[in-house]
Amino acid sequence: MWPAPLQARDLVAVVAPSGPVDPGRLARGVTMVESWGLRVRIAPHAFDGHGRLPYLAAADEDRADDLTQAWCDPAVRAVWAARGGYGAQRIIDRLDVGVLGAAGPKHLIGFSDVTALHARVGRELGAVTIHGPGLASDQQLTDRANAAALRNLLLGRPVTRQLLLTGRPLVHGRAAGMLVGGNLSLLASGVGTEPAPEVPVVLVLEEVNEPAYRVDRMLTQLIRSGWLDRLAGVVVGDLGLPDDTLVLDRLGGFGVPILTGAAIGHAARNIAVPLGADVRLEAGPDEASLTLA
């Protein structure tokens, strides 16, 4: 289900489900969103910090309450994570998906550690969510292509064959399926707690600061667990690898089309894409593209 497009004066709630937030960077992101004609409200515990665990934005119960209250507020039309980091997995089981579902469809935006929330909220609510820059990812938000992609997905209506992104063909072919994925570490660590896809999927992957052998280990975990049994295609973003050798070694055997070099991840360009949407992947002799189906 696609949430309705945002309109002028709609309210966006900013939450911090993972790591601590830099107020200055978040302020710059808020300014951008307000320039689109939207209103922004920052969750009460976004800047609290955690007394014992400095890598968390606040206590688990407070981060979960902020997200739940924002989602269930009828005035809020979108819930935007300030940043990733670590911590989203710690609050997943504190979220009552029945309560969230009763509040109706809303936009959820974020990437990296927010992959854990995309997986749970998207699956349980049958919702399309947006994998894209956090609102405190100010360097990414200043990129015109990033901002345009976000704005199109939030304020526009989905259009059949709408171009989402382009890249290089690593394995040729065509595929259609539901777009899933995000950060590889979060996907791999979710095996055993988050079920494997039950429909054909196009998998998008990104990662940061992980050596090749760990990327290999995480991909192997997804393969051995059966999580990739319904794989129809792959979109490879920035994995921090020198080339595509490892991706081809681990995923080439599936015989599905692979688009590589996608501008998705922790680099300056991080194009927003709609997880949970039906997409088409085409990897021809010279170019590859991902479009809405």
Is 18 a known active-site residue? no
Spot the catalytic one: 112, 131, 185, 207. 112
Two structure tokens written together for 102: 């009763």
Instruction: Give how far Cα 51 sits from Cα of 55, 167, 293, Å.
Output: 10, 43, 47
> What does the alpha-carbon distance between residue 259 and residue 236 come to, in Å, rounded to a whole number?
6
Which of 192, 187, 207 shows the shortest CA–CA distance to 262? 207
Is 266 a known active-site residue? yes
> What does the alpha-carbon distance between residue 76 and residue 118 come to, in Å, rounded to a whole number?
18
Spot the catalytic one: 50, 118, 185, 206. 206
Spot the catalytic one: 50, 131, 266, 282. 266
Instruction: Give how far Cα 69 sits from Cα of 29, 73, 75, 80, 263, Å.
Output: 21, 6, 11, 13, 33
Which single residue is written with the structure tokens 């469809």? 105
Active site residues: 112, 206, 266
